Amino acid sequence: MLQLMQSTASRTGKKSRAQLSRAPLARDTDIVVIGLGYVGLPLAVLAASRGYSVRGLDIDMEKVRKLKKREADFLSPEEHEDFRNVASMDIRADESVLEGADAYLICVPTPVHDNRLPDLRPLKGAAEAVGRHISKGALVVIESTVSPGVCERVALPTIERWSGLIAGTDFNFAHCPERINPGDSKWSTRTIPRVVGGLTPRCLSRAMALYERITDAPLHAMGSIKEAEAVKMVENAFRDVNIAFVNELAMSFDRAGIDLYNVLEGASTKPFGFVKYSPGCGVGGHCIPVDPYYLIRYGRENGFEHRFLQTARSINGGMPRYTVGILERTLREGGMRLSDATVALLGLSYKKGITDMRESPAVAIQKELAKSGAAVRSYDPYVLSQSSVKSLDDALDGADAVILATDHDEFCSLSPEDFERHGVPIVVDGRNCLDKDAFLAHGITYHGIGR
């Protein structure tokens, strides 16, 4: 993989990791990570475990209080173990922790407002704080996901204004968008290949040298910060569009009585030109349902309408409603109204094995069900505090139907016998993870998404 990236870099005339590692090495040993969430904390822990002196700033005082006690339920078990073993990490909610560091790694959220326009307040706030404390010669890297131009149009001038320093001359400035996939045991902050864009060749070298030492991952130098920003946008928009395509097929094939699940299995036998995506009850998290809006906005600023992206957002955003619609129809066929039904909602987090509920389709389904007047029993072993019942048995017992919204292992291993034992006659499998034929063979009404 590294070889491939190096040859790509040399073909395009860009500096490869090998070439850059011969550049004068930076002196960065003292790092501050700003924003200690899903992205920032694993990075801070990794850097600390590699011997860097790491400090952390987060404006959430409650989170800081927990992190000081090494409590972080959003880390993987391995990361958590490393976090506990890190000898010392100065974590504060007070920006004095930023004073005089060699490198600032900004990992704050980049959400959208209710009107779907980018909310850059956390990024501006972090840039202001860095600007108030940065010293000459330091390196600033933005890891947050932003649309092309935002690093240089928003973060950079903010730091310059508050510091009185000039980027590229007095301090180094780069973008290295994070690509983590929470819950993924193979790809982590340590192993995921990175793209890096620098304001100047020196900024780029400096950032590459730092990431080369912190991670074990291949690094790919981009020609500019804007290109690095665009890479991240394209990756996530690509995913959103492809998922929207299979979701659209699911809705169409549902009417035609074709099992899309089987069709996709068949199409996957083609050894080239086809990539399998899976339909489902919606997409969630802080990236896929958010980042396309940054690109849509960016297009508009340039007088371009991203119709494809807008359609994808609309299709994927409508899947929770579609899923509830399947249940409503199924109940009606059995002579029952959704408003009279008790529904067990399995899952609240946006994907398997994690606690993150941001933009979760399960939460959207919960709201739809509540709006319809159904009695909802929500259960998620990863977010028990948000569940309305405290065990799977409590959720299932005597429910009129189940909607499986998150493919946690605990739910995907449910058998028809489990449903029979609890007297549940209907399941809407929003993640297509149950054995459809087995459920049907037991006389349980099964509906998947496109299945």
Ligand X SMILES: NC(=O)c1ccc[n+]([C@@H]2O[C@H](COP(=O)([O-])OP(=O)(O)OC[C@H]3O[C@@H](n4cnc5c(N)ncnc54)[C@H](O)[C@@H]3O)[C@@H](O)[C@H]2O)c1
Question: In this complex, which beta carbon is closest to ligand X, that of residue 179 or of residue 451?
Answer: 179
**Any residues with CB less than 8 A from the CB of 322 and at least 6 apart, and which?**
251, 281, 449
Among 419, 415, 354, 363, CA closest to 387: 363
Residues that bind ligand X (CB under 6 A): 34-40, 57-60, 63, 107-110, 122, 125-126, 144-145, 178-180, 182, 285-287
| Beta bridge partner(s), residue 34 | 57, 106
DSSP tag of 281 = S
Neighbouring-strand partners of residue 175: 142, 197
For ligand X, the closer of residues 325 and 353 by Cβ is 353
Name the residue type at position 428.
V
Who's near 161: CB < 8 A, 6+ residues apart?
A: 131
Q: Which residue is nearest to ligand X (CB)?
A: 37
In the numeric block, the tokens 């492809």 are attached to 242
CA distances to 38, 234, 290, 291 from 239, in Å = 20, 9, 12, 11
| Minimum separation from the CB atom of position 306 to ligand X (A) | 18
Contact 346, 404 (CB under 8 A): yes
Q: Do 109 and 140 meet the contact criterion of CB atoms below 8 Å apart?
A: no
- Catalytic one of 176, 287, 412, 433: 287
Considering the complex, what minimum distance in angstroms separates the CB of residue 9 from ligand X? 23
In the residue annotation, 203 being an active-site residue is answered as no
Q: Please, what's the largest Cα pairwise distance for the chain?
A: 75
167 in Cβ contact with 202 (< 8 Å): no
Shortest distance in whole angstroms from residue 400 CB to ligand X? 35
Q: Which is nearer to ligand X, 63 or 367 (CB)?
A: 63
> What DSSP state is assigned to residue 171?
B
User: Rounded to the nearest whole angstrom, what is the least distance from the CB of residue 384 to ligand X in the complex?
Assistant: 19
Q: Which is closer to ligand X, CB of 35 or CB of 320?
A: 35
Torsional sign, CA 13, 17, 21, 25: positive
Give the residue with the Cβ less far from ligand X, 35 or 430. Answer: 35
91 or 434: whose CB is closer to ligand X?
A: 91
| CB of 403 vs ligand X, minimal distance in Å | 24
Among residues 40 and 450, whose Cβ is nearest to ligand X? 40
Question: Distance between CA 69 and CA 63 in Å, rounded?
Answer: 10
Q: How far is the CB of 145 from ligand X (least distance, A)?
A: 4
In this complex, which beta carbon is closest to ligand X, that of residue 118 or of residue 450? 118
> Distance from first CA to last CA of the chain, Å, rounded?
37
Closest CB 59 distance from ligand X, rounded Å: 4
Minimum gap (Å) between residue 239 Cβ and ligand X: 12
Structure-token match 């249940």, residue found: 327
User: How far apart are the C-alpha atoms of 385 and 403, rounded to whole Å?
Assistant: 20
DSSP state of 376: E
| Neighbouring C-beta atoms of residue 25, cutoff 10 Å | 13
- Where in the sequence numbering do the catalytic residues fall? 287
